[in-house]
Amino acid sequence: MRKTLKLISILILGLAAGVLWGCGHETHQGQDQTATGTDVGQVLPGFTLEEVDGGQLSLADLRGRAVLLDFWDTWCPPCRKALPHLQELSQEHQDGLQVVGIALGQEGQAKVKSFIAARGFTFPFVYGNVEVFQKFGIQSLPTTMLLDKDGVIVKKWIGGYPKGAYEEEIVKLLGE
């Protein structure tokens, strides 16, 4: 009797494992294994936002290049300190990296535009808003994300960091 129960248990477990493997195998066959989301290892959801200098910028248009997204605002001291580092990185790695600033703009779009112009930043800036920041899970400023050429989040920094922290990951990603 015990041998029969053992045999039945083994058969049931084997059948269950086969069904689970088969379902999982068929479900994922031919699909992208990377989930969309805002965590490291996920593909960042797309966006199209208004550029500070006019026009629109779409994340999809940046595919094929590494992207450094910086979520910031004019009133944020760590943001103000980090932006010059991002300007330097955008110039030093211009062949393989696109830096983009996404401004919350709590003090208004005119303040964002004059802030950028007064400091001579040349990388693209777009206007975000509370909804955009919520969509991307931004809870603290600055938040900076490094994306690979496929839009996968490689690194995420919350708070201001020295230039070297960003550069180390950028160099690693670009293979420089």
Q: What is the pLDDT averaged over residues 42-52?
A: 96
Q: Is the pLDDT of residue 86 over 90?
A: yes
139, 154 contact by CB (below 8 A): no
36, 43 contact by CB (below 8 A): yes
Q: Is the pLDDT of residue 32 over 70?
A: no
Q: Is 51 helix (H, G, I), strand (E, B) or coil?
A: strand
Task: Please tell me the number of Cα atoms within 13 Å of 61 on its side-chain side.
Answer: 9
Residues 6+ apart with CB under 8 A from 120: 87
At 16, the pLDDT band (50, 70, 90 cuts) reads very low
- 37 or 34, greater pLDDT: 37
At 176, the pLDDT band (50, 70, 90 cuts) reads confident
Q: What is the pLDDT averaged over residues 7-28?
A: 33
DSSP 82-137: HHHHHHHHHHHTTTTEEEEEEE--TT-HHHHHHHHHHHT--S-EEE--HHHHHHTT
165 CA to centre of own chain: 16
- State the Cα–Cα distance between residues 38 and 36, nearest whole angstrom: 7
Q: What is the pLDDT of residue 78?
A: 97
Q: Is the pTM of this model over 0.85?
A: no
Tell me the pLDDT of the chain averaged across its residues. 85
